[in-house]
């Protein structure tokens, strides 16, 4: 039997040309166009059919109909895998128009064989029985019975149900019920169109046609049948979206003369975009998504949600690039919430540009029957597989979205220049990874900046070394670094190999300019914006570059695991200088707390080591260049032995410091208190440790917290008090203090409190030692006389306003000495 490949047929021609009977297979869904919920789809389709038949223009295609054929004793069978809905509606339209034009015998001559309809359903026996009964019988339109509603919209189906040949069991068949709803709709639309039957079956100038494809000739594997029916019986969100999307393509590109090519049986068939999209989304493109099915849905044979998410990511990225000010719309598109076709339309997301980009993206990523093709040498700069999975689950972070956009748009723009992809993704990764992108506005800016770079993406290194290179949005320091590295990469393969290797080591993630700076490479660039070295000079610089990389990797290796649990790196670096990173509102960060959002971009070691415009800006006399030089000084320290980094840093910590740094160098628990790494310091003589990132949360005065730790470590010296505790403040007007408590004398609890106050005018601070009752009457005459004598002997004076005894001193040692004597005296008291 001859196979038809991409040939145009009308419904009747398909049956006659191949002597087919059409069988809707058992795995297919029920007929859906007749469902009550599909009124809009049904009405639009019937309107289109009526216009086609009224106008009488030939070959008004209803797109592709795919399936396979086989031969049986009673004739040839065609099993549609896609086109079931359209074919069923055409079957019903043929039958209805034959009815009202007295041409049922003509129709039966083509659609009736061996007392059975040549169009039938295998999904249920009742569906097949109804198709047979329909062809065998007729309905006289002038004798319709009364309808259940006033507009007579269901009079045709009610008449059928009233016939003796109609079985009540068919009321439980959803396909039969949908057919009846469709026949009512056809009756309302075509009841005055009896002359349309001849037009419908005209073989010389067929009006309503479709492109028929026998997929057996394409040598598809056995998965195809399952894949094309994997969405189950009900119409899914994807099917509804696809139907409307295909209508949009047909309308938007109606006047577009660009021809796409489909390869069928070794031949290229020119088609329009609508036909190209409709065929490929159910066949060639689906093969890719079939390999990633069930990332979202629980159905093991469904990839609908994954494909919808892919479409969403691609078109929303295009929308963001073109409509950067529509923050609310873009935020909705980026989030993992339901977006209907109507919402896309209202926001004007599905532009021609977005549609063309989507088609290109499908084609670019398709890899036969396999998973995504790995095009990059390694996963460091871009993990193709993992990011693609996040695309399919719509769970991309802003940086990942930017990287995916750069990746797929490169493939779309340069399909024959795969060799440039590695360099492109390296540069984009470095820019994205080292720029703050943590909100929708920044995500949009990143996409637009990448889009502006795309015309140069196939040779991005050449663009970076050119005089006209301009890169917006991304960190100016990282842009400068990429230009410098591009110049070095152009200079020699040695530089290229070292740069690519070092970018991926420890926490660098593409940022290694500080190593070039320490090695002496940047001084030449900053002076001349070029590199002019002798061979010997270049060799020396390369060796320096290697050496500082090894030192950096060695020292920063303590960040792995628990090796830095006592903040050896932070404390060692503090011996070289005040390296803490400044933050607004008099805050500073140790670069040690990874619980922060955008930690690596804002308050990490990477931020401290970034070369950018802030190098010249001094905070308390310290620039970012100074901070980097503190690290260089640490790396150059001769006690860095490359034997045990933790021990080396401990040796350096012993140097201590003469200023405020001394407390942090000596006591790591002060840094540990700062869970987000922040301190507040309008002056470094008055430091507040922040338990979170803002002072309106818990905080503690560094001086009293440090004292509390000392007292707790020497708690046995402060008997009879059993406990030492530091009390946090909350908010800028609260107080923080240290308390000795858990001592009762003559049934009354007493405590010592120590607080520290700072005078911003004189830049001096003082301690205050307080003795008081914890509860009850606090007047002076309620205090035990023996206790009063003891505290007054140690110069604690009564404060009648606050009802406590207090002693002030600028010396911590003086406070501790008084505290020792008081506690010793209390121990000697008789109970």
**343-354 pLDDT, tens per residue?**
898 899 999 999
pLDDT (0 to 100) of residue 737: 94
pLDDT (0 to 100) of residue 597: 53
> How far is CA 57 from each of CA 11, 44, 188, 206, 335, rounded to the nearest angstrom?
16, 19, 23, 8, 46
Average pLDDT value for residue range 50-55: 90
pLDDT (0 to 100) of residue 233: 43
pLDDT (0 to 100) of residue 657: 93
Pairing of strands 748-759, 797-799: unpaired
Dihedral of CA 499/500/506/507: which sign?
positive
C-alpha 269/C-alpha 260 separation (Å) is 8
Cis peptide before 93 (omega within 30 of 0): no
Which has the minimum average pLDDT: 69-83, 707-721, 744-758?
69-83
Stronger pLDDT, 264 or 67, i.e. the higher one: 67
Residue 494 banded pLDDT, cuts 50, 70, 90: very high
**Does the pLDDT of residue 235 top 70, yes or no?**
no
pLDDT (0 to 100) of residue 694: 86
Average pLDDT value for residue range 561-582: 92
pLDDT (0 to 100) of residue 204: 87
pLDDT (0 to 100) of residue 147: 58
DSSP letters, 72-116, are ETTEEEEEEEE-HHHHHHHHHHHHHHHHHTT-HHHHHHHHEETTE
Closest CA to 319 of 451, 496, 497: 451
pLDDT (0 to 100) of residue 824: 93
Average pLDDT value for residue range 678-686: 89
Average pLDDT value for residue range 547-561: 91
Residue 232 banded pLDDT, cuts 50, 70, 90: very low
**Does the pLDDT of residue 571 top 50, yes or no?**
yes
Q: Over 681-723, what HEC string results?
A: EEECCEEEEECCCCCCCEEEEHHHHHHHHHHHHCHHHHCCCCE
Domains of the chain: 5-236 (no CATH), 283-474 (no CATH), 557-695 (no CATH), 699-828 (3.30.1460)
**Does the pLDDT of residue 225 top 50, yes or no?**
no
pLDDT (0 to 100) of residue 355: 95
C-alpha 102/C-alpha 687 separation (Å) is 98
Residue 55 banded pLDDT, cuts 50, 70, 90: confident
C-alpha 752/C-alpha 255 separation (Å) is 88
Residue 313 banded pLDDT, cuts 50, 70, 90: very high
Which has the minimum average pLDDT: 12-26, 100-114, 672-686?
12-26
Quote the percentage of the chain above a pLDDT of 70.
92
The helix-helix angle for 237-252 and 39-55 (nearest 10°) equals: 30
Average pLDDT value for residue range 373-381: 93
CB atoms under 10 Å from CB of 468, counted, come to: 6
Q: What is the mean pLDDT of the chain?
A: 88
C-alpha 701/C-alpha 767 separation (Å) is 12
Can you list the alpha helix ranges (DSSP code H) found in 575-697? 599-602, 605-608, 624-636, 645-653, 661-666, 669-673
pLDDT (0 to 100) of residue 3: 39
Residue 816 banded pLDDT, cuts 50, 70, 90: very high
**239-285 pLDDT, tens per residue?**
778 878 988 998 888 888 778 888 765 677 888 898 889 888 877 89
DSSP letters, 129-156, are HHHHHHHH----GGGPPPPSSTT-TTHH
**510-549 pLDDT, tens per residue?**
999 999 999 999 887 777 777 888 899 999 999 999 999 9
**574-600 pLDDT, tens per residue?**
999 999 998 888 999 998 765 545 545
C-alpha 541/C-alpha 533 separation (Å) is 9
Tokens of 637: 């320290």
pLDDT (0 to 100) of residue 2: 37
pLDDT (0 to 100) of residue 234: 46
Stronger pLDDT, 384 or 66, i.e. the higher one: 384
Q: What are phi and psi of 256, to 5 degrees?
A: -80, 120
C-alpha 414/C-alpha 673 separation (Å) is 53
pLDDT (0 to 100) of residue 151: 55
CB atoms under 10 Å from CB of 399, counted, come to: 19
Check residue 576 and report its DSSP letter: T
- The answer to whether the beta carbons of residues 190 and 208 sit under 8 Å apart is no
pLDDT (0 to 100) of residue 16: 86
Average pLDDT value for residue range 170-187: 91
**754-793 pLDDT, tens per residue?**
999 988 777 788 999 999 999 989 999 999 999 999 999 9
**Does the pLDDT of residue 101 top 70, yes or no?**
yes
Tokens of 406: 């750069």
Most confident of 29-38, 119-128, 229-238, 785-794: 785-794
**What three-state secondary structure class fits 534?**
coil
**209-223 pLDDT, tens per residue?**
988 877 665 544 445
pLDDT (0 to 100) of residue 142: 84
Residue 801 banded pLDDT, cuts 50, 70, 90: very high
């Amino acid at each position: 039997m001859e196979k038809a490949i991409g040939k145009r047929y009308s419904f009747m021609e398909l049956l006659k040309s191949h002597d087919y009977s059409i069988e809707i297979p058992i795995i297919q869904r029920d007929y859906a166009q007749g469902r009550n919920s599909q009124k809009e789809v049904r009405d639009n389709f019937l309107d289109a059919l009526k216009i086609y038949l009224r106008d009488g223009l030939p070959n008004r295609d209803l797109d592709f109909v795919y399936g396979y054929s086989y031969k049986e004793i009673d004739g040839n069978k065609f099993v549609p895998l896609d086109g079931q809905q359209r074919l069923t509606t055409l079957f019903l339209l043929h039958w209805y128009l034959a009815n009202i034009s007295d041409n049922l015998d003509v129709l039966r001559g083509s659609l009736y064989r061996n007392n059975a309809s040549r169009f039938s359903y295998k999904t249920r026996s009742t569906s097949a029985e109804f198709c047979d009964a329909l062809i065998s019988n007729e309905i006289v339109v002038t004798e319709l019975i009364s309808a259940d509603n006033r507009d007579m919209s269901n009079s045709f189906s009610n008449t059928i149900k009233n016939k003796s040949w109609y079985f009540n069991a068919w009321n439980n068949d959803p396909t039969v019920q949908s057919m009846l709803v469709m026949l009512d709709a056809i009756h309302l639309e075509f009841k005055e169109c009896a002359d349309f039957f001849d037009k419908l079956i005209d073989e010389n100038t067929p009006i309503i046609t479709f492109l028929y494809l026998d997929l057996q000739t394409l040598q598809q594997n056995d998965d195809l049948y399952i894949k094309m029916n994997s969405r189950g019986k009900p119409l899914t969100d994807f099917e509804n979206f696809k139907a409307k999307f295909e209508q949009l393509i047909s309308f938007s590109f109606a006047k577009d003369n660009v021809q796409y090519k489909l390869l069928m049986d070794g031949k290229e068939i020119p088609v329009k975009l609508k036909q190209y999209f409709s065929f490929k989304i159910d066949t060639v493109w689906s093969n890719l998504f079939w390999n990633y099915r069930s990332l979202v849905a629980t159905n093991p044979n469904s990839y609908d949600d994954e494909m919808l998410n892919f479409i969403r990511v691609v078109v929303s990225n295009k929308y963001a690039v073109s409509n950067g000010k529509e923050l609310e719309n873009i935020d909705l598109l980026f989030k993992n919430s339901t977006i209907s076709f109507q919402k896309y339309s209202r926001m004007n997301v599905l532009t021609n540009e977005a549609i063309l980009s989507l088609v290109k993206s499908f084609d670019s990523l398709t890899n036969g029957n396999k998973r995504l093709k790995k095009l990059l040498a390694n996963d460091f700069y871009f993990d193709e597989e993992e990011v693609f999975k996040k695309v399919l689950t719509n769970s991309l972070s802003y940086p990942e979205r930017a990287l995916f956009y750069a990746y797929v748009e490169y493939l779309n723009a340069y399909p024959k220049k795969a060799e440039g992809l590695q360099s492109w993704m390296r540069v984009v990764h470095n820019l994205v990874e080292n720029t703050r992108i943590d909100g929708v506005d920044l995500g949009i800016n990143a996409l637009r900046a990448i889009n502006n770079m795309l015309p140069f993406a196939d040779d991005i290194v050449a663009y970076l070394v050119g005089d006209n290179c301009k890169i917006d949005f991304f960190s100016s320091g990282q842009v400068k670094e990429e230009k410098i590295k591009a110049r070095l990469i152009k200079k020699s393969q040695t530089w290229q190999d070292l740069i690519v290797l070092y970018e991926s080591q420890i926490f660098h993630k593409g940022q290694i300019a500080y190593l070039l700076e320490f090695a002496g490479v940047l001084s030449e660039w900053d002076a001349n914006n070029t590199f002019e070295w002798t061979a010997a000079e270049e060799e020396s610089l390369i060796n320096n570059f290697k050496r500082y990389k090894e030192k950096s990797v060695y020292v920063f290796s303590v960040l792995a695991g628990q090796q830095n649990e006592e903040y050896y790196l932070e404390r060692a670096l503090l011996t070289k200088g005040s390296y803490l990173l400044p933050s607004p509102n008099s805050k500073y960060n140790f670069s040690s707390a990874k619980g922060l959002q955008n930690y690596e971009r804002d308050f990490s070691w990477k931020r401290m080591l970034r070369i950018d415009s802030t190098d010249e800006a001094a905070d308390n006399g310290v620039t970012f260049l100074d901070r980097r030089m503190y690290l260089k000084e640490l790396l150059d320290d001769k006690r860095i032995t490359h034997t045990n980094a933790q021990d080396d840093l401990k040796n350096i910590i012993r140097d201590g410091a003469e200023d405020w740094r001394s407390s942090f160098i000596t006591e790591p628990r002060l840094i540990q208190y700062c869970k987000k790494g922040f301190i507040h310091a309008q002056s470094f003589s008055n430091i507040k440790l922040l338990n979170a990132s803002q002072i309106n949360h818990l905080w503690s005065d560094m001086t009293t917290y440090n004292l509390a730790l000392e007292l707790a470590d020497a708690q046995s010296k402060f008997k009879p008090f059993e406990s030492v505790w530091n009390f946090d403040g909350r908010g800028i007007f609260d107080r923080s203090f240290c308390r000795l408590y858990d001592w009762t004398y003559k049934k009354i609890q007493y405590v010592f409190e120590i607080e520290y106050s700072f005078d911003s005018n004189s830049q001096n601070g003082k301690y205050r030692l307080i003795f008081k009752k914890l509860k009850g009457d606090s007047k002076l005459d309620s205090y035990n006389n023996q206790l009063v004598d003891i505290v007054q002997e140690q110069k604690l004076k009564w404060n009648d306003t606050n009802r406590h005894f207090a002693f002030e001193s600028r010396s911590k040692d003086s406070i501790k000495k008084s505290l020792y004597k008081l506690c010793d005296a209390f121990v000697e008291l008789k109970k």
